[in-house]
Amino acid sequence: MNSVKEYKSASYKTGKIRKDNEIVIREAAEQEFAEFGFKGASIMSIAKRANVPRPNIHYYFKNKQELYNAVLMDILALWNKAFTEFTAEDEPAEAIGNYIRLKLMYSRCYPTASKIFANEILQGAPHLNTYLNNDLRVLLAHKTAIIQGWIDAGKMDAIQPYYLIFFIWGATQHYADFGIQIKSALGKEELSEEDFEEITANLIQIITKGCGLVK
Amino acid sequence: MNSVKEYKSASYKTGKIRKDNEIVIREAAEQEFAEFGFKGASIMSIAKRANVPRPNIHYYFKNKQELYNAVLMDILALWNKAFTEFTAEDEPAEAIGNYIRLKLMYSRCYPTASKIFANEILQGAPHLNTYLNNDLRVLLAHKTAIIQGWIDAGKMDAIQPYYLIFFIWGATQHYADFGIQIKSALGKEELSEEDFEEITANLIQIITKGCGLVK
DNA sequence: TGAAAGCTTAACACTACTGTCAAGTAAGTA
DNA sequence: TACTTACTTGACAGTAGTGTTAAGCTTTCA
């Protein structure tokens, strides 16, 4: 099992073709899952999006569940990365501003990932129980402790740290998940980089000022 | 067709049994659509939730689409009601505070409605094109004009009115749509009325102060 | 009380989708 | 080149779900 020969043979198996095809299928699956959630998505439709015969998908991923898991794990990795950003040593105004900027950048660059996550939560998070009750909870407890530290040090107003985080999440993710509504309301086909810069500036201004971090 | 007799006969038709059954089915459908969206929902599963044989649903609603439309129309009526609240004559601090309070109340009292709307938007709003491009756009233009008036009168900071509205939507709806994540993060089974009051107070404080409406 | 309207239900035909298999083709390596 | 492994594809069986029908039951009210 662990001989050099076996290892080599394994590396042949996971060759370029497999890698490429997996990516194409994953991307098609992301679109489908983002729109319809796990239950509403169909392998047939994913196959059409990916432009491959349906059985190919089963060749690369055992079933719908496994394909979904693969996609979801990628997203969680991305999500965790967006979260490990500010520390107790940072100045709160800058740290919170950067966090908002980062979250909005994610909404702009990875709206599909955000939508899949939203769908998963709407469906009652059946595949994310472990994540929500462990990883996320720990990360969140850490962040809120930092914010509480800033409050105790008199650096900002006494806001419930959890609610501050939820405010940032809600306001920033809205631009990915409700993108269509926003575009429609603004009468735009797409939001440009400049639009996002303006949104970022507005949101940072409201929140930092609202927390007593700037005048 | 319009004779008194016909009218009377029509009123017999829509009797108590029909009314009651329609409500039971509608409520079951709301739950199902909130979790799975239009495509992911199944009439079979709605029938089980409502505790009626499946064909009964077809007796009251022609098909899945019509049932969904009925549910969605109720929600839009509710949504519009949540929107017709502040006017140019109001003091901005109070008006915006009240709007945030109202939106959070909706998230608390009608989370299912909020989730159905979220699902619809995530699926690309195929049934809401008309609403988004007409009703909503008009309402929104009206509200943003009022906010712009307050800004021009020097009553508040120069925030893009559209973005202010979107912040409020995102931050408030988050408590309905992402309720599970929030409960999980806070380690609570349910959010109490007191929790919502605290959330409301925090959010109003951040936003009104952040807009330069209070010190 | 009985006729008409309203409601329920089992059964049917049909479609969409899933997962599997076996036979085939293409790619990679000794 | 010959052999092995990787990949593709059409065909199949099975399940879940939809919408319809026809027959039976219940309620209403003249």
DSSP secondary structure string, A4-62? HHHHHHHHHHS-HHHHHHHHHHHHHHHHHHHHHHHHH--HHHHHHHHTS-HHHHHHHSS
Name which of B105-109, B112-116, B131-135 the model is least confident about.
B131-135
CA–CA gap between residue A29 and residue A24 (Å, rounded): 9
Name every chain A residue with its beta carbon within 8 A of the beta carbon of B113.
none
| Three-state SS letters, B97-146 | HHHHHHHHHHHHHCHHHHHHHHHHHHCCCCCCHHHHHCHHHHHHHHHHHH
Give whole-number Cα distances, A192 to A97, B24, B204, in Å: 20, 45, 30
- Say if B125 falls within a structural domain: yes
Distance from the Cα of A203 to chain B's closest Cα (Å) equals 8
Residues B89 and B173 in one domain: yes
Contact A171 B170 (CB under 8 A): yes
- Among B133, B174, B205, beta carbon nearest to A184: B133
Q: What is the mean pLDDT of chain B?
A: 91
Cα–Cα–Cα angle for A83, A171, A212, rounded to 5 degrees: 85
Cα–Cα–Cα angle for A201, A204, A102, rounded to 5 degrees: 90
CB atoms within 10 A of CB A48: 13
Q: What is the mean pLDDT of chain A?
A: 91
Residues A19 and A101 in one domain: no
Residues B98 and B60 in one domain: no
Q: What are the tokens at B208?
A: 């009104």
Among the candidates A70, A104, A124, a domain finishes at A70
Res B5: pLDDT: 33
- Say if A215 falls within a structural domain: no
- Say if A170 falls within a structural domain: yes
Residues A59 and A97 in one domain: no
Residues B50 and B138 in one domain: no
pLDDT confidence bin for A215, thresholds 50/70/90: confident
Residues B36 and B61 in one domain: yes
Q: Summarize pLDDT for B144-195 with one digit per residue, the tens.
A: 999 999 999 999 999 999 999 999 999 999 999 999 999 999 999 999 999 9
Residues 28-47 of B with CB under 7 A from strand D: 41-45
Q: Summarize pLDDT for B72-85 with one digit per residue, the tens.
A: 999 999 988 887 77
pLDDT confidence bin for B128, thresholds 50/70/90: very high
pLDDT at B11 over 60: no
pLDDT confidence bin for B4, thresholds 50/70/90: very low
Q: Say how far A63 CA is from C21 C1', in Å.
A: 16
pLDDT confidence bin for B8, thresholds 50/70/90: very low
The torsion defined by the Cα of B95, B86, B103 and B212, in degrees rounded to 10, comes to -30
Residues B162 and B201 in one domain: yes
CA–CA gap between residue A77 and residue A92 (Å, rounded): 25
Between these two residues, B92 and A17, which has the higher pLDDT value?
B92
Res B195: pLDDT: 98
Res B109: pLDDT: 97
Res B53: pLDDT: 93
CATH number of the domain at B160, please.
1.10.357.10
pLDDT confidence bin for B15, thresholds 50/70/90: confident
Q: Is B200 on the interface with A (CB under 8 A)?
A: no
Nearest to A207 by CA among B165, B60, B211: B211
Contact B167 A171 (CB under 8 A): yes
Return the number of CB contacts < 8 Å for A and B.
180
Q: What are the tokens at B62?
A: 């022609």
Residues B183 and B100 in one domain: yes
Residues A143 and A169 in one domain: yes
Domain count, chain A: 2
Residues B128 and B51 in one domain: no
pLDDT at B199 over 50: yes
Q: A166: domain range? A: 82-210
Res B10: pLDDT: 40
Residues B42 and B101 in one domain: no
Contact A178 B170 (CB under 8 A): yes
Residues A27 and A94 in one domain: no
Q: Is A145 on the interface with B (CB under 8 A)?
A: no
Q: Say how far B50 CA is from C5 C1', in Å.
A: 25
